Amino acid sequence: MILRLGLIGTGFMGKAHALAYRAAGAVFGDLPEVQLSVLCDTPAPSAQKHARQFGFARPTDDWRALVASPDVDIVSITTPNGLHKEMALAAIAAGKHVHCEKPMALTIEDAEEMEAAARTAGVHTMVGYNYIHNPAVGHARKLIADGVIGTPVHFRGWVDEDYQADPNLPWTWRARRADAGLGTLGDLGCHLVSMSQVLMGEIDSLIADTQIIHKTRPMPDGSGHGTVENEDTASAILRYKNGAQGTMCTSRSAWGRKNKLDWEVHGTKGMITFSQERLNELQLFTNEGPRAEQGFRTILTGADHPPYAAFCPAPGHQLGFGDLKTIEVANFLRAVAARQETYPNFTDALAIERVIHAIDTSARDGARVSL
């Protein structure tokens, strides 16, 4: 089976997708062949440059032409958030499978429309929550399912970066809801929600608060200051459907934090902790043995934690961000080839986006929101 890829966008995530689709077959060996067919970017010289760099057969500066191309089976969308809906709906209408970066859309209504269209058309979809594909996270899920820490009773998570910490950074489209949707919730917090639901199950209700730290930013052209319309920080107290509790915090204005996606799962017999900045490690505590000898122990991922061994047979040699995207792509390609669903598709991602929009609603209304 041969699957032909059309990639829209060549920024941070566009390059990550291009590298992952190129690498997946070499890493795993059991995947359908991928042909890098069409790359779209604007202006046209940028499309030409990146098509050569990434190894695509031909460039275009017209995403609609890419979606309509008979030599494209999968459309990969890595554009700014406000373009996701229109591109995804067009690709679905053309019968293409869709790999879309998160968040799906600017509003929950738009995400619902995308999910319904994909489900009705019967195409396969994937949303770019690559952190949950980490072998360390897979092992944490196994430890929880096997009862190693007893019954999970509490989740504590936070995800912080500092890319909006400087008040002198110029205003961009990310500050306007019409272009970006939510702020730190749509950019960072959704990753934490995806991790939480993979480990703890679905969230039942929450109460939340948000904050805009820098309410204006200087306009790039020097014409004054523009208003920041979406949140810099958000916090929520959670109740899961299984009765467990949890807390989440996220900030895009946390000086010194680069990718601080950390979490703890507290159980009745122990605890698991993880930090994305040390993504090859888990910390495990169990209440076994003499108290004088109890303590957290480090589990370093290796060949015993699938699919780590597909990249390297030796423990301690480390996987990275791009490798997690390659695992995500491999899972998607297998699903398309086998005509089976994989996680997270548009239906799964819609559930994640319901949570981040519920946090926004709760903060605005000052009330608990049920999901």
Q: Output the domain CATH number for residue 23.
A: 3.40.50.720
- 195 and 307 co-located in one domain: yes
- In this structure, the answer to whether residues 59 and 153 fall within a common structural domain is no
Clarify whether residues 224 and 356 are in a common domain. yes
Query: 359 and 254, same structural domain?
Result: yes
Question: In degrees rounded to 5, what are phi and psi of residue 279?
Answer: -75, -5
First CA to last CA distance, the chain? 40
| Phi, psi of 322, deg, nearest 5 | -65, -35
What is the predicted pLDDT for the residue at 78? 98
Nearest to 182 by CA among 104, 114, 73: 104
Same domain, yes or no, for 254 and 339? yes
My answer on whether 230 and 336 are in the same domain is: yes
Task: Determine the structural domain holding residue 53 and report its residue range.
Answer: 2-130
pLDDT given for residue 81 in this prediction: 93
Which residue, 96, 130, 164, sits at the end of a domain? Answer: 130
Of 88, 115, 130, the residue at which a domain comes to its end is 130
Q: Which residues pair with 298 in a beta bridge?
A: 283
- Listed residues 111, 130, 149: the one ending a domain: 130
CATH number at residue 191: 3.30.360.10
Q: Mind listing the pLDDT tens digit for each residue in 242-259?
A: 999 999 999 999 999 999
User: Are 244 and 301 within one domain?
Assistant: yes
Q: How many Cα atoms are found within 13 Å in the side-chain-facing hemisphere of 291?
A: 0
3-state helix, strand, coil in the chain (%, to 5): 40, 25, 35
Q: What is the 3-state secondary structure (H, E, C) of 130-157?
A: HHHHCHHHHHHHHHHHCCCCCCEEEEEE
pLDDT digits (tens, 9 = 90+) for 129-187: 999 999 999 999 999 999 999 999 999 999 999 999 999 999 999 999 999 999 999 99
In a shared domain, residues 184 and 285: yes
> Phi then psi for 14, rounded to 5 degrees?
-60, -45
- If asked whether residues 93 and 171 sit together in one domain, one would say no
Residues 176 and 204 in one domain: yes
In order of 16, 111, 154, 371, the CA distances from 204 in angstroms are: 34, 20, 14, 5
Token output for 3: 């699957």
Give every residue of the chain whose pLDDT is below 50, as ranges: none
Task: Compute the Cα dihedral for 26, 30, 36, 40 and give only its sign.
Answer: negative
* Alpha helices (runs of H) in the chain, residue ranges in sequence order: 12-28, 44-54, 63-68, 84-93, 108-121, 135-145, 177-180, 184, 190-200, 308-311, 321-338, 346-365
How many domains does the chain divide into? 2
Residues 232 and 313 in one domain: yes
d(CA 169, CA 228): 12
Are both 35 and 98 inside the same structural domain? yes
- Cα-Cα-Cα-Cα dihedral of 63, 67, 72, 73, to 10°? 130
Q: Is residue 128 within 8 Å of residue 13, measured between CB atoms?
A: yes
**Dist CA 146 CA 134 (whole Å):** 19
Residue 85: the pLDDT is 98
User: For 268, phi and psi rounded to 5 degrees?
Assistant: -75, -10
